[in-house]
A and B are shown apart, each in its own frame.
Chain A
Amino acid sequence: MAEGFLERLKSEVLVCDGAMGTMLQARGLTGGACPELWNKNHPERVQEVHRAYFAAGCNMVETNTFGGNRLKLKGYGLEKDVADLNYLGARLAREVCPPGCFVCGSVGPTGHFLEPLGDVSREEIYDVFKEQILALAEGGADVICIETMMDTEEAAIAVRVAKENTDLPVIATMTFELDRNGYRTMMGIDPVTAARRLTEAGADVIGCNCVNGPEIALGVLQEMKPVTDRYLMAQPNAGLPQLIKGETVFELGPEVYAQKYPVLLEVRPHIVGGCCGTTPEHLAFVVKLVKGINS
Chain B
Amino acid sequence: MGSFEEIARALIVGNHVRVRELTEIALKEGTDPQEIIYKGLIPGINVVGEKFRNNEYYVPQVLLAARAMYAGMDLVRPLIAKLGARYLGRVVIGTAQGDLHDIGKNLVAMMLEGTGFEVINLGSDVSPERFTEEARDKKAQIVGISALMTTTMPGMARTVEALKAAGIRDQVKVMIGGAPVTQLYADEIGADGYARDATAAVAKAKELLSLV
Contacts and interface: CB of A to CB of B under 8 A. Distances in A.
A259 interface: no
A188 B60 contact: yes
A186 B125 CA distance: 21
Contact of B58 (A25, A32, A118, A184): A184
Given A117-B60, A186-B58, A187-B60, A248 B100 contact: no
A246 B157 CA distance: 10
Contacts of A243: 150, 153-154, 180, 185
A180 B151 contact: no
B64 interface: yes
A275 B177 CA distance: 27
B63 interface: yes
Interface in B101-141: 125, 127
B199 interface: no
Contacts of B58: 184-188
A193 interface: no
A248 B155 CA distance: 13
Interface in A22-37: 25, 31-32
Contacts of A150: 59
Interface in B164-194: 180, 185
Interface in A165-208: 179-181, 184-188
A243 B97 CA distance: 16
Contacts of A32: 97-98, 125, 127, 155
Contacts of B155: 31-32
B15 interface: no
Interface string B26-63: 00000000000000000000000000001100111101
B55 A75 contact: no
Contact of B150 (A184, A186, A242): A242
Contacts of A31: 97-98, 151-152, 154-155
A184 B100 CA distance: 21
Nearest to B125: A75
A184 B151 contact: no
B59 to A, nearest CB: 5
Interface string B70-107: 00000000000000000000000000011010000000
A111 interface: yes
A293 to B, nearest CB: 34
Nearest to B57: A188
Interface in A1-35: 25, 31-32
Contact of B63 (A75, A113, A180): A113
A242 B97 CA distance: 18
A98 interface: no
Contacts of B98: 31-32
Nearest to A246: B154
Nearest to A113: B63
Nearest to A186: B59
A150 B98 CA distance: 20
B116 to A, nearest CB: 30
A224 B76 CA distance: 48
B55 A181 contact: yes
A179 B154 contact: no
A171 B184 CA distance: 42
Given A188-B60, A248-B151, A179 B55 contact: yes
Contact of B100 (A25, A75, A118, A188): A75
Contact of B55 (A118, A180, A187): A180
A73 to B, nearest CB: 13
| In the complex, the 4 A-B pairs of residues with the closest C-beta atoms, listed nearest first | A188-B58, A31-B98, A179-B55, A243-B150
Given A31-B98, A180-B55, A188-B58, 17 more contacts: A31-B97, A31-B151, A31-B155, A32-B97, A32-B98, A75-B100, A111-B100, A117-B64, A184-B58, A185-B58, A188-B60, A188-B61, A242-B150, A243-B150, A243-B153, A246-B154, A248-B151
Interface of B: 54-55, 58-61, 63-64, 97-98, 100, 125, 127, 150-155, 157, 180, 185
20 contacts: A31-B97, A31-B152, A31-B155, A32-B127, A75-B100, A111-B100, A117-B60, A117-B63, A117-B64, A118-B63, A180-B54, A184-B55, A186-B59, A188-B58, A241-B150, A241-B151, A242-B150, A243-B185, A246-B157, A248-B150
